[in-house]
Amino acid sequence: MDLEAAIKLECRLTALEFYATKLGAALMVFGGGTVKTAEAAMKDQLAREQILPMLDPAVSDLASAELNEALEKLLLMQLELVAQMRGEPRPQ
């Protein structure tokens, strides 16, 4: 894959992440969720270890760590969006 294709792919992925996160926050607010409930849901999700079964354990460990890091970033973004949509203080 050349650099231009990689950049386009990364931009598409970032856009999907943003809109999925914004949709998740809107659904949470629409369902009556607060920053407190969103934070509890985020902590619950992050407590679950994401395991990716692969043949090579080293690759599986790396992929799992990357997935957990990406998931944490998106859940924090969602938490901030819930706070913004509800007019509540930003979580610490």
pLDDT greater than 80 at residue 77 = yes
pLDDT at res. 14: 92
In the 8-state DSSP scheme, what is residue 64?
H
pTM (2 d.p.):
0.81
Arithmetic mean of pLDDT, 7-36: 94
Q: What is the pLDDT of residues 25-76, one digit of tens each?
A: 999 999 999 999 999 988 898 888 767 676 677 788 888 888 889 989 999 9
pLDDT at res. 54: 67
- Per-domain boundaries in the chain: 3-86
Q: Which residue has the tokens 């679950």?
A: 48
Residue 66 is which amino acid? E
In the 8-state DSSP scheme, what is residue 63?
H
